[in-house]
Amino acid sequence: MRIALGIEYDGSHFYGWQMQRHGTRTVQAALESALSTVADHPVQVVCAGRTDTGVHATGQVVHFDANVERMEKAWVMGVNAHLPDDVASLWARKVTDDFSARFTATARQYRYVISNRKARPALLSKKVCWRHGNIDVEAMHLAAQVLIGEQDFSSFRSSACQAEHARRCIHYVNVSRSGDLIYIDIKANAFLHHMVRNIVGSLLMVGQGEKPVDWISELLAIKDRTFAGPTATADGLYLVKVSYPDEYNLPAYVFLPDFS
Protein backbone atom coordinates (compact mmCIF):
# COMPACT_ATOMS: atom_id res chain seq x y z
CA MET A 1 0.00 0.00 0.00
CA ARG A 2 1.42 3.35 -1.04
CA ILE A 3 0.75 6.46 1.03
CA ALA A 4 1.31 10.12 0.12
CA LEU A 5 2.00 12.36 3.10
CA GLY A 6 2.07 16.13 3.42
CA ILE A 7 4.51 17.47 6.01
CA GLU A 8 5.89 20.74 7.32
CA TYR A 9 9.09 21.43 9.20
CA ASP A 10 11.25 24.14 10.66
CA GLY A 11 14.63 23.52 9.08
CA SER A 12 16.58 25.66 11.57
CA HIS A 13 18.00 22.74 13.53
CA PHE A 14 18.22 20.13 10.77
CA TYR A 15 21.14 19.41 8.49
CA GLY A 16 18.80 19.38 5.53
CA TRP A 17 16.35 16.79 4.32
CA GLN A 18 18.52 13.87 3.25
CA MET A 19 19.60 11.18 5.70
CA GLN A 20 23.36 11.09 6.27
CA ARG A 21 25.73 8.35 7.34
CA HIS A 22 26.93 9.61 10.70
CA GLY A 23 23.63 10.13 12.49
CA THR A 24 23.38 13.84 11.68
CA ARG A 25 19.92 15.23 12.47
CA THR A 26 17.90 15.31 9.24
CA VAL A 27 14.21 15.59 8.43
CA GLN A 28 14.22 12.29 6.53
CA ALA A 29 15.69 10.42 9.49
CA ALA A 30 13.13 11.86 11.93
CA LEU A 31 10.20 11.10 9.62
CA GLU A 32 11.29 7.56 8.74
CA SER A 33 11.76 6.75 12.43
CA ALA A 34 8.22 7.93 13.27
CA LEU A 35 6.64 6.17 10.30
CA SER A 36 8.48 2.93 11.08
CA THR A 37 7.10 3.00 14.62
CA VAL A 38 3.51 3.41 13.41
CA ALA A 39 3.92 0.85 10.62
CA ASP A 40 5.79 -1.59 12.89
CA HIS A 41 8.31 -2.22 10.11
CA PRO A 42 11.12 -0.20 8.50
CA VAL A 43 9.82 2.57 6.23
CA GLN A 44 11.71 4.57 3.63
CA VAL A 45 10.34 7.77 2.13
CA VAL A 46 10.79 9.61 -1.16
CA CYS A 47 10.28 13.38 -1.08
CA ALA A 48 9.18 15.86 -3.72
CA GLY A 49 12.25 18.04 -3.25
CA ARG A 50 15.30 17.68 -1.00
CA THR A 51 15.83 20.84 1.02
CA ASP A 52 19.20 22.09 2.24
CA THR A 53 20.38 22.81 5.78
CA GLY A 54 18.25 25.56 7.32
CA VAL A 55 15.53 25.53 4.63
CA HIS A 56 11.93 25.21 5.84
CA ALA A 57 8.83 23.59 4.36
CA THR A 58 5.11 24.16 4.78
CA GLY A 59 4.09 21.95 1.86
CA GLN A 60 6.61 19.15 1.42
CA VAL A 61 5.16 15.90 0.02
CA VAL A 62 6.57 12.39 0.46
CA HIS A 63 5.45 8.88 -0.39
CA PHE A 64 6.20 5.53 1.22
CA ASP A 65 5.08 1.91 1.00
CA ALA A 66 3.53 0.20 4.01
CA ASN A 67 2.92 -3.51 4.57
CA VAL A 68 0.08 -2.85 7.01
CA GLU A 69 -3.35 -1.25 6.88
CA ARG A 70 -3.70 1.94 8.87
CA MET A 71 -6.38 4.60 8.82
CA GLU A 72 -5.23 7.81 7.17
CA LYS A 73 -5.49 9.67 10.47
CA ALA A 74 -2.98 7.22 11.99
CA TRP A 75 -0.41 8.41 9.46
CA VAL A 76 -1.10 11.95 10.72
CA MET A 77 -1.90 11.86 14.44
CA GLY A 78 -0.01 8.66 15.19
CA VAL A 79 3.08 9.76 13.31
CA ASN A 80 3.00 13.21 14.94
CA ALA A 81 3.12 11.56 18.35
CA HIS A 82 6.55 10.19 17.43
CA LEU A 83 7.95 13.24 15.61
CA PRO A 84 10.01 16.02 17.19
CA ASP A 85 8.25 19.35 17.66
CA ASP A 86 9.81 20.90 14.56
CA VAL A 87 8.28 18.37 12.13
CA ALA A 88 4.58 17.60 11.62
CA SER A 89 2.48 15.38 9.39
CA LEU A 90 -0.40 17.41 7.89
CA TRP A 91 -2.40 14.96 5.79
CA ALA A 92 -2.24 11.43 4.36
CA ARG A 93 -3.81 9.81 1.31
CA LYS A 94 -3.72 6.32 -0.17
CA VAL A 95 -2.39 6.51 -3.73
CA THR A 96 -1.80 4.10 -6.57
CA ASP A 97 1.57 2.40 -6.93
CA ASP A 98 2.49 4.57 -9.92
CA PHE A 99 2.53 7.69 -7.75
CA SER A 100 5.92 9.23 -6.98
CA ALA A 101 6.26 12.26 -4.75
CA ARG A 102 9.24 13.30 -6.86
CA PHE A 103 8.56 12.20 -10.43
CA THR A 104 4.77 12.67 -10.54
CA ALA A 105 5.02 16.29 -9.37
CA THR A 106 4.19 18.84 -12.05
CA ALA A 107 5.39 21.97 -10.21
CA ARG A 108 7.01 23.23 -7.03
CA GLN A 109 6.45 26.57 -5.36
CA TYR A 110 8.78 28.40 -2.98
CA ARG A 111 8.52 31.58 -0.92
CA TYR A 112 11.56 33.56 0.21
CA VAL A 113 11.12 36.05 3.06
CA ILE A 114 13.39 39.04 3.69
CA SER A 115 13.27 41.30 6.75
CA ASN A 116 14.22 44.77 5.54
CA ARG A 117 14.82 46.98 8.56
CA LYS A 118 17.71 48.58 10.46
CA ALA A 119 17.76 46.16 13.41
CA ARG A 120 18.28 42.45 12.99
CA PRO A 121 15.22 40.29 13.79
CA ALA A 122 15.14 38.35 17.06
CA LEU A 123 11.77 36.60 17.03
CA LEU A 124 12.20 35.68 13.37
CA SER A 125 15.85 34.71 13.66
CA LYS A 126 16.48 31.70 11.37
CA LYS A 127 13.03 32.26 9.81
CA VAL A 128 13.85 35.17 7.50
CA CYS A 129 16.80 36.68 5.68
CA TRP A 130 17.80 40.07 7.10
CA ARG A 131 18.90 42.97 4.90
CA HIS A 132 19.06 46.60 6.04
CA GLY A 133 19.21 49.63 3.78
CA ASN A 134 16.88 50.66 0.95
CA ILE A 135 15.59 47.87 -1.29
CA ASP A 136 13.66 48.70 -4.46
CA VAL A 137 11.02 45.95 -4.61
CA GLU A 138 9.54 47.25 -7.86
CA ALA A 139 12.92 46.99 -9.58
CA MET A 140 13.37 43.44 -8.28
CA HIS A 141 9.94 42.39 -9.53
CA LEU A 142 10.53 43.94 -12.96
CA ALA A 143 13.95 42.31 -13.26
CA ALA A 144 12.53 38.92 -12.29
CA GLN A 145 10.00 38.79 -15.12
CA VAL A 146 12.64 37.80 -17.69
CA LEU A 147 13.07 34.54 -15.77
CA ILE A 148 9.58 33.32 -16.72
CA GLY A 149 9.37 30.52 -19.27
CA GLU A 150 11.56 27.54 -20.21
CA GLN A 151 15.18 28.62 -20.27
CA ASP A 152 18.73 27.58 -19.43
CA PHE A 153 19.39 28.59 -15.82
CA SER A 154 23.09 27.72 -15.73
CA SER A 155 23.87 31.11 -14.17
CA PHE A 156 21.74 30.17 -11.17
CA ARG A 157 22.77 26.58 -10.53
CA SER A 158 25.16 25.44 -7.82
CA SER A 159 28.51 23.99 -8.84
CA ALA A 160 27.43 20.89 -6.89
CA CYS A 161 24.22 20.49 -8.91
CA GLN A 162 23.87 16.97 -10.31
CA ALA A 163 21.01 17.65 -12.74
CA GLU A 164 21.58 16.41 -16.29
CA HIS A 165 20.82 19.83 -17.76
CA ALA A 166 19.99 23.35 -16.63
CA ARG A 167 16.74 23.88 -18.54
CA ARG A 168 13.77 24.57 -16.29
CA CYS A 169 10.41 26.29 -16.79
CA ILE A 170 9.49 29.05 -14.35
CA HIS A 171 5.75 29.71 -14.23
CA TYR A 172 5.90 32.98 -12.34
CA VAL A 173 8.03 35.15 -10.04
CA ASN A 174 6.41 37.78 -7.83
CA VAL A 175 8.26 40.21 -5.56
CA SER A 176 6.13 42.15 -3.09
CA ARG A 177 6.42 44.11 0.14
CA SER A 178 4.33 44.19 3.32
CA GLY A 179 5.76 46.66 5.81
CA ASP A 180 9.34 45.64 6.62
CA LEU A 181 8.97 42.26 4.94
CA ILE A 182 9.71 41.40 1.32
CA TYR A 183 8.26 38.25 -0.22
CA ILE A 184 9.61 36.52 -3.31
CA ASP A 185 7.24 33.85 -4.64
CA ILE A 186 8.45 31.58 -7.42
CA LYS A 187 6.91 28.55 -9.10
CA ALA A 188 8.49 26.23 -11.64
CA ASN A 189 8.20 22.71 -12.97
CA ALA A 190 11.42 21.89 -11.08
CA PHE A 191 14.47 23.65 -9.64
CA LEU A 192 18.22 23.23 -9.84
CA HIS A 193 20.37 22.98 -6.70
CA HIS A 194 20.41 26.41 -4.97
CA MET A 195 18.48 27.89 -7.93
CA VAL A 196 15.98 29.87 -5.84
CA ARG A 197 18.61 31.21 -3.44
CA ASN A 198 20.91 32.17 -6.32
CA ILE A 199 18.07 34.00 -8.06
CA VAL A 200 17.24 35.83 -4.82
CA GLY A 201 20.88 36.81 -4.31
CA SER A 202 21.00 38.35 -7.78
CA LEU A 203 17.63 40.09 -7.45
CA LEU A 204 18.79 41.65 -4.20
CA MET A 205 21.75 43.20 -6.02
CA VAL A 206 19.23 44.84 -8.34
CA GLY A 207 17.01 45.91 -5.45
CA GLN A 208 19.95 47.47 -3.60
CA GLY A 209 21.04 49.43 -6.66
CA GLU A 210 24.24 47.50 -7.29
CA LYS A 211 23.06 46.24 -10.68
CA PRO A 212 20.56 47.52 -13.29
CA VAL A 213 17.21 45.85 -13.95
CA ASP A 214 18.35 44.33 -17.25
CA TRP A 215 21.30 42.58 -15.56
CA ILE A 216 19.19 39.47 -14.86
CA SER A 217 18.58 39.12 -18.60
CA GLU A 218 22.33 39.36 -19.18
CA LEU A 219 22.96 36.60 -16.63
CA LEU A 220 20.56 34.28 -18.45
CA ALA A 221 22.43 34.85 -21.69
CA ILE A 222 25.89 34.37 -20.13
CA LYS A 223 25.01 30.93 -18.64
CA ASP A 224 27.84 31.20 -16.12
CA ARG A 225 27.28 31.03 -12.35
CA THR A 226 30.41 33.02 -11.57
CA PHE A 227 28.85 36.21 -12.99
CA ALA A 228 25.68 36.07 -10.86
CA GLY A 229 25.07 37.34 -7.33
CA PRO A 230 25.84 35.49 -4.09
CA THR A 231 23.69 32.64 -2.80
CA ALA A 232 21.08 34.05 -0.42
CA THR A 233 20.92 32.51 3.05
CA ALA A 234 18.81 29.41 3.67
CA ASP A 235 16.95 31.03 6.57
CA GLY A 236 14.28 32.77 4.48
CA LEU A 237 13.44 29.90 2.11
CA TYR A 238 10.24 27.84 2.34
CA LEU A 239 8.95 25.02 0.11
CA VAL A 240 5.25 25.90 0.20
CA LYS A 241 3.53 23.73 -2.38
CA VAL A 242 4.03 20.75 -4.66
CA SER A 243 1.49 20.23 -7.45
CA TYR A 244 0.26 16.90 -8.82
CA PRO A 245 -2.24 15.74 -11.46
CA ASP A 246 -5.87 15.86 -10.29
CA GLU A 247 -6.25 12.10 -10.71
CA TYR A 248 -4.36 11.53 -7.43
CA ASN A 249 -6.88 13.61 -5.48
CA LEU A 250 -4.34 15.07 -3.07
CA PRO A 251 -5.30 17.96 -0.76
CA ALA A 252 -4.84 21.40 -2.27
CA TYR A 253 -3.06 22.55 0.86
CA VAL A 254 -1.07 25.78 0.72
CA PHE A 255 0.33 27.72 3.66
CA LEU A 256 2.35 30.79 2.78
CA PRO A 257 4.46 32.04 5.71
CA ASP A 258 3.37 35.62 6.37
CA PHE A 259 4.96 37.41 9.30
CA SER A 260 3.51 40.87 8.59
What's the pLDDT tens digit per position in 143-180?
Answer: 999 999 999 999 999 988 888 899 999 999 999 999 99
pLDDT score at 254: 87
What share of the chain in percent tops pLDDT 90? Answer: 93
Nearest to 63 by CA among 21, 23, 15, 103: 103
Runs of H (alpha helix) within 2-112: 27-39, 77-80
2-104 with 107-239: one CATH topology?
yes
* Confidence at 88, pLDDT banded by 50, 70, 90: very high
Q: Which positions are catalytic? A: 52
pTM: 0.96
For residues 184 and 146, give the distance between their C-alpha atoms in angstroms, rounded to a whole number: 15
| Residue 74 pLDDT | 94
CB-CB neighbours of 164 under 10 Å: 6
Task: Examine the pLDDT at 73 and tell me if it is beyond 80.
Answer: yes
Alpha-carbon gap, residue 101 to 77, rounded angstroms: 21
Q: Which pLDDT score is estimated for 64?
A: 98
Q: Which of the listed CATH numbers 3.30.2130.10, 3.40.50.360, 3.30.70.660, 3.40.50.300 matches domain 107-239?
A: 3.30.70.660
- Any idea where the domains of the chain sit in the sequence? 2-104, 107-239
pLDDT at 55 over 80: yes
Alpha carbon 135 to its chain's center: 24
Alpha-helical regions (H) of 40-184: 77-80, 137-144
Tens-place pLDDT, residues 215-234 = 999 999 999 999 999 999 99
Give the model confidence (pLDDT) of 100-158 as tens digits: 999 999 999 999 999 999 999 999 999 999 999 999 999 999 999 999 999 999 999 99
Residue 22: pLDDT above 80? no
The Cα 105–Cα 85 span in angstroms is: 27
Q: Select from 3.30.450.20, 3.30.390.30, 3.30.70.580, 3.30.70.1060 the CATH code of 2-104.
A: 3.30.70.580
